[in-house]
Amino acid sequence: MISGMIRAAMVDDIADIRAMIRELAAYERAAEQARATEEQLREALFGEHPAAFALIAEDDETGQAVGYALWFPRFSTWTGTRGMHLEDLYVRPHARGGGHGKALLASLAAVCRQNGYERFEWWVLDWNQPAIDFYKSLGAELLNEWTVCRLSGAPLGELADRAPAPLDRTSAP
């Protein structure tokens, strides 16, 4: 039985979302990397052109946020359709085991179905066995043959400096 409800995030949830992002980063051993400000999150989630969307898991007795899922659309050239990338899924430790994570993922799957998204993808740290086991129990396929690549900081800037000509800013979202 799931204790609580899942709802779309609202502007008033920004402080809770930011706090849970920091809790997730600490759990993932990367607390110093969670630098997003409330202002950045407000713009990303509720600005004129949202970059991402979020759901909140609430405790039914207290009405407090006990978890969140933050996602954004992606596009597959292979299927020619949009999909969903789940950036964060987090349930606070005291609320784990109550079905909130499963309810968040089920709600996201429903968003995929409603929007015709053919893929729902996310990353999981290879050492996070409880999460891996949970995802497998839901039927998720782990794509072990793929490696995540990332450019940031100085290497990103250095590569950008090599661009042959300035890009038209209207070509980016």
Q: What is the mean pLDDT of residues 60-83?
A: 95
Q: How confident is the model at residue 1 (pLDDT cuts 50, 70, 90)?
A: very low
Q: How confident is the model at residue 73 (pLDDT cuts 50, 70, 90)?
A: very high
Q: How confident is the model at residue 169 (pLDDT cuts 50, 70, 90)?
A: low
Q: How confident is the model at residue 80 (pLDDT cuts 50, 70, 90)?
A: very high
To the nearest whole percent, how much of the chain has pLDDT over 70? 94
End-to-end, the C-alpha distance of the chain in Å comes to: 41
Q: What is the mean pLDDT of residues 56-65?
A: 93
Distance CA 154, CA 14 (A): 30
| pLDDT surpasses 90 at 42 | yes
pTM of the predicted structure, to 2 decimals? 0.90
| Mean pLDDT value across the chain | 93
pLDDT digits (tens, 9 = 90+) for 104-137: 999 999 999 999 999 999 999 999 999 999 999 9
3-class DSSP assignment, residue 108: helix
Residue with tokens 């066995």: 129
| pLDDT surpasses 90 at 4 | no
Q: How confident is the model at residue 170 (pLDDT cuts 50, 70, 90)?
A: low
* Ranges 1-5, 16-20, 153-157: which has the least confidence: 1-5
Task: Tell me the C-alpha to C-alpha distance, in Å, between residue 11 and each of 16, 85, 124, 152.
Answer: 10, 21, 27, 29
| Catalytic positions, written as ranges | 135
